[in-house]
Structure 1
Amino acid sequence: MTVISQLQNNKADMQQTRIHTQPLPTLQPGEALLRISRVALTTNNITYAAFGETPHLRYWDFFPTGAAEWFHMPAWGFAEVVETTVEGIAKGERFYGYWPIASHVVMKPVRIGERGFYDGAEHRLQLTSAYNQYQRISTDAAYRAADEDYQMLLRPLFITSFMLADFLDDNDFFGARQVVVSSASSKTAYGTAFCLESNPRVELIGLTSAGNTGFVEELGCYARAVEYADVEKLDPSLPTLYVDFSGNRSLRARVHQHFGSALVHDCYAGSAQSHEHIGEADMSLPGPQPQPYFAPYQIKKRNADWGPEEVTRRFNEAQLAFIRRVSDPQHAWMQINQHAGLDAAQQLVEALIAGDIDPLAGHAVLLD
């Protein structure tokens, strides 16, 4: 192996992709070379790409391509150390974390401990630290070898779901009696509903397209599924919290206009279907101004409230329960499709960006 192969996207047109190869660099002291084994591709990755230049997110900056017009779309998955100059990082060790969609990556492991390491590459020091941490599978209490595909597909989404559910509960749902969730068929949305389904204080309503109402109803974690066309049929007198996974401005406006002063909070949780940010027009809508939600902020709060070990314990417990629910052979919420190689990943990325999304499908790309 003399080259690194990378799947890259064009910043001006995300759906334009290329497979780029470059010579394998000579490792410098303090560096490790990892072979990327498998990664998950979901609409979450498209969100990373769409918001790549957002100042507090900067997803394009994690894995620079060296070409101004091209970027790496990050993905969660597993990789193995194939060469290392770093004490405490052994050849053959397997790590879970945040990778480029590529054959290999060179990292600079720092803060090495029992849990794993952080990538100390200079360009990542100012980026969100949660994305810079790499977990040894040997010390990951939630790791199950048979669940690797489920873990990499669901953990990065479910941490958002788990902390979002906690954020809403922590704020007593801002006084709401019903929670209306858009893009209810998306994995992050129904992960949030899974965490809240037994909460007696609110009724969960899943907004979805006409073609996905059956899927949303069958999930069982929403009290009911409602088509987007029927938003105005919801009771406008009930205190309502809107959790927005669609990013659709027209839908957001309809929600605000329908509920008016009964809308107690508009929580924008991110989107793959819309690449637009909250704009001035959204801020002039009746009711509360839309507020973006960012999971690391709630993680930081709970680390202070509970301690990191307790946060991890609670999350691991919930994640394992979620994987059991999603993978239940009698009523599976997700079917895993495996794709081999960067060529297959390229086709998949282009399909996901185009919006060709089956809510039942989860995609694992095998690279080694």
Structure 2
Amino acid sequence: MSVIHQLQNNKRSMEQTRIQTQPMPELKAGEALMRISRLALTTNNVTYAAFGETPHLRYWDFFPTSDAEWFHMPAWGFAEVVESTVEGLAKGERFYGFWPIASHLVMQPVRVSERGFYDGAEHRLALTSAYNQYQRISTDAAYRAESENYQMLLRPLFITSFMLADFLEDNGFFGARQIVISSASSKTAYGTAFCLQDNPTVRLVGLTSPTNSDFVQGLGCYRQTLGYDQLGSLDPSVPTLYVDFSGSTGLRHQIHAHFKGTLVHDCYAGSAQNQDYAELDQTLAGPQPQPYFAPYQIKKRNADWGAAEVTRRFNEAQLAFIARVSDAQQPWMQVNEHAGLEAAQALAESLIKGHINPLAGHAVALD
């Protein structure tokens, strides 16, 4: 193939997309050409795009385009080495990691090891290290060939869920006796609930839209499921921790007003449905929203437990979660496969507009 195909989004209007082509460059010393074969598209990608300019996230900067008004929406998935000038990377090797929605990517692999490599491209050096790491499937203890779709759909979400649950437990739930979780039907939200469901310290309450209530109730990991309009039925005297996956300013104000004096912590875990960011709001009663960022807790636990133990615990939990989500008798997710960049384009536009079925997971095959 003599060109690279790329799906790009407009920075000022994310729902505006285009497919661009550019010449395939000749590899320089220290570079490798990867063919992107399979990607997951979820609301997680919309969150990445929405926070593209946020200083500590900078998702627009991972895969810059030649046009400053357009960006690549990043996605998790798999790619193979097509050509390499780097020792330790063989043609045909398959890697899991963070990619642009595109046919190919030229990378500068560094710190090549049995585990994988890091992209050492200069523009990525100041970006969050966790997103620059690429895992060889041949040495990934949690990799299962038959579960590739579930791995790429759930691992990046579940690492957030797993570390968020650990963060909350690590802080004694800030003294709360119940946790109220918004956008409870989102995969990251119910992944968090899955990790916390057996903890006797707190009671889990899922808030969701009426159309998703039956789905959330059927998950079985929330003690109680309520529609957003039923928030007032909760006892306001109970010390409460709010985990915000919705990003809704209006809901946040309702939570703070209802639990005035008993809201112990407002954890802003990301936006499932819009681009609203939990910025400082002096009109809020109680604690200000505190953004949660998984790499910070990973760094802490790497220091506490060691990286190998963090990986072992995560792999164990991830495999249990995938087994539950993919249970043929009562699946929590049904995977829909799409083929090609045009299909990815239509799907991305749909996700940005909020057309989301909580039962659906979307995998895009680009090869």
Normalised by the size of structure 1, how large is the TM-score? 0.99
Inter-partner Cα distance in structure 1 for 2:278 and 2:339: 37
Quick one: distance in 1 between partners of 2:59 and 2:306?
Answer: 27
Match of 1:296 in 2: 295
Query: 1:254 & 1:272 partners in 2: Cα distance?
Result: 18
2:81 counterpart SS class:
strand
Structure 1: distance between partners of 2:166 and 2:296: 12
Matched, 1:278 2:278: yes
- Conserved in 1, the CA contact under 8 Å of 2:153 and 2:361? yes
Q: Which amino acid aligns with 1:364?
A: A
Q: Which residue of 2 aligns with 1:309?
A: 308
Residue matched to 2:87: 87
Matches within 5 A, 1:191-340: 191-281=191-281, 283-340=282-339
Alpha-carbon separation, structure 2, partners of 1:168 and 1:198: 14
Aligned 1:55-204 pairs, distance under 5 A:
55-204=55-204
* Structure 2 counterpart of 1:164, one-letter code: L
* Residue segments in structure 2 that go unaligned for 5+ positions in a row: none
Contact 2:62 2:124 (8 Å CA) reproduced: yes
- Structure 1 residue 284: Cα displacement: 3.0
Secondary structure at the aligned position of 1:313 is classed as helix
SS of 1:347's equivalent in the other structure is helix
Distance 2:18 2:213 in 1: 36
Q: CA deviation at 1:273?
A: 1.4
SS at match of 1:260: coil
Give the root-mean-square deviation of aligned CA atoms: 0.6
How do residues 21-36 of structure 1 correspond to structure 2 at under 5 angstroms? Answer: 21-36=21-36
Q: Distance in 1 between matches of 2:280 and 2:115?
A: 43
How far apart, CA to CA, are the structure 1 residues paired with 2:2 and 2:31?
17
Deviation string, structure 1 residues 36-66 (Cα, Å, up to 9, x no partner): 0100000000000000000000000000011
Counterpart amino acid of 1:156? P
Distance 1:176 1:322 in 2: 25
SS of the residue 1:261 aligns to: coil
The whole-number CA distance in structure 2 between the counterparts of 1:17 and 1:95 is 27
- Structure 1, unmatched stretches of 5+, are none
- Assess if the C-alpha contact under 8 Å between 2:280 and 2:288 holds in 1: no
CA distance in 2, matches of 1:288, 1:34: 46
Percent identity over paired residues = 76
Question: Contact conserved, 2:44 with 2:272, CA < 8 A, in 1?
Answer: yes
Q: Secondary structure at the match of 1:81?
A: strand
Provide the C-alpha distance between the structure 2 equivalents of 1:167 and 1:284, rounded to a whole number of angstroms: 27
1:280, distance to aligned residue in structure 2 (A) = 3.6
Q: CA deviation at 1:277?
A: 1.6
CA distance in 1, matches of 2:279, 2:85: 47
SS of match in other structure, 2:337? strand
Matched positions, count: 367
Contact 2:279 2:289 in 1 (8 A): no
Instruction: Indicate the residue corresponding to 2:343 in structure 1.
Output: 344
| SS, match of residue 287 in structure 2 | coil
- Matched with 1:364 is 363
Cα deviation code 1:257-312 (max 9, x no counterpart): 0001110000000003121222343x431111110000000000000000000000
- Counterpart CA distance in 1 for 2:136 and 2:16 is 34
Q: Distance in 1 between matches of 2:270 and 2:100?
A: 21
Contact 1:246–1:273, Cα closer than 8 Å, also in 2:
yes
Q: For residues 166 and 278 of structure 1, what CA distance do their matches in structure 2 show? A: 22
The answer to whether the 8 A contact 1:50-1:272 is kept is no
- TM normalised by structure 2 equals 0.99
Q: State the AA in 2 paired with 1:54.
A: T
> Is the contact made by 1:119 and 1:133 (CA closer than 8 Å) also made in structure 2?
yes
For residues 280 and 64 of structure 1, the distance between their equivalents in structure 2, rounded to whole angstroms, comes to: 30
**Contact 2:116/2:133 (8 A) holds in 1:** yes
